[in-house]
Chain A
Amino acid sequence: TQLLEQSPQFLSIQEGENLTVYCNSSSVFSSLQWYRQEPGEGPVLLVTVVTGGEVKKLKRLTFQFGDARKDSSLHITAAQTGDTGLYLCAGEGGNEKLTFGTGTRLTIIP
């Protein structure tokens, strides 16, 4: 069974601060996605990383895929209140399924 553990589970920080969310597994994934979900809405795809060691930037968000394709991180610079939400990593293991991470609930305090 493929598992993805995210840490921290909850994070509450002041606007303007930086933060990093981690997504770890003992399994190898062919690709990994990050989603953000707001209450009562569906997850919104932020990024897909495919190559080990890959780094992708989306404005103030930086995503990294581990060299062994077992882990990933999301770094947010100068957090804004609009960044508040549930962040989910999800790995594709080649079996038509996405394995979702346990989730990180981020709250940015104005």
Chain B
Amino acid sequence: DTEVTQTPKHLVMGMTNKKSLKCEQHMGHRAMYWYKQKAKKPPELMFVYSYEKLSINESVPSRFSPECPNSSLLNLHLHALQPEDSALYLCASSQEGANEQYFGPGTRLTVT
């Protein structure tokens, strides 16, 4: 099973809302990632979790808050977002290190 699942598929939220994105993998991977992708651009790394610990934060604004409750789950909590945060948010996982990442289908986020 090489599947990474993400929910919801689509999300529309106002600038005062609080919402969460969820990601799950059951491949026993030890590294999990959040990426942001704008239209016609490659994915941009936001956070890396390694063995359930946050190892990389790419200077992401605090309105994005990641959480790794266990080795299979990764959440991204959203609060007070701006319209420019509208994008496709991708979760990925890998066995160890950054090599061979498996991506979920993404959450299309629109901030109004």
Q: Which residues of A line the B interface, CB within 8 A? A: 30-31, 33, 35, 40-45, 48, 88, 90, 92, 94-98, 100-103, 105
Contacts and interface: CB of A to CB of B under 8 A. Distances in A.
A97 B98 contact: yes
Contacts of B108: 40
A48 B94 CA distance: 13
Contacts of B48: 96-97
Interface residues of B, number: 26
Nearest to B102: A45
B36 to A, nearest CB: 12
Contacts, number: 60
B94 to A, nearest CB: 9
Contact of A41 (B97, B100, B102, B106): B106
Contacts of A43: 43, 90, 103
Contact of B99 (A31, A44, A102, A103): A31
Contacts of A96: 31, 48, 50, 55-56, 97-98
Contacts of B42: 88, 100-103
A92 B99 contact: yes
